[in-house]
């Protein structure tokens, strides 16, 4: 059974850049690439880590290294 899907809007220049990036890759569409990257960013391993308290008392499921890696990947995709 297929999972239900939702629409996520991204800037057109970013979409076109992703099309260029995947032109010679194994991805069949920008959507496949985006889903792959997002699963990598917030995959099961990140969700299974023990939550650590942050300075403001809330719980943070991501380590400083995780956050730095997420920022790096978002920057490479043109979001930051």
CA distance 10 to 28: 18
CA dihedral 4, 70, 46, 57 (to 10 degrees): -110
pLDDT in tens, the chain (80 residues): 678 889 999 999 999 999 998 988 888 999 999 988 888 888 755 555 555 555 566 666 677 888 888 888 888 877 76
Rounded to the nearest angstrom, the gap between the alpha carbon of residue 5 and the centroid of all alpha carbons in its chain is 16
CA distance 39 to 41: 5
CA distance 44 to 49: 9
Q: Is the pTM of this model over 0.85?
A: no
CA distance 78 to 61: 24
């Amino acid at each position: 059974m297929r999972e239900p899907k939702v629409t996520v809007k991204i800037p057109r220049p970013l979409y076109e850049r992703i099309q260029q990036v995947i032109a010679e890759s194994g991805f069949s569409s920008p959507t496949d690439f985006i889903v792959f990257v997002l699963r990598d960013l917030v995959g099961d391993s990140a969700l299974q880590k023990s939550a650590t308290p942050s300075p403001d008392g809330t719980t943070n499921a991501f380590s400083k290294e995780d956050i730095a890696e997420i920022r790096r990947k978002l920057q490479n995709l043109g979001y930051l």
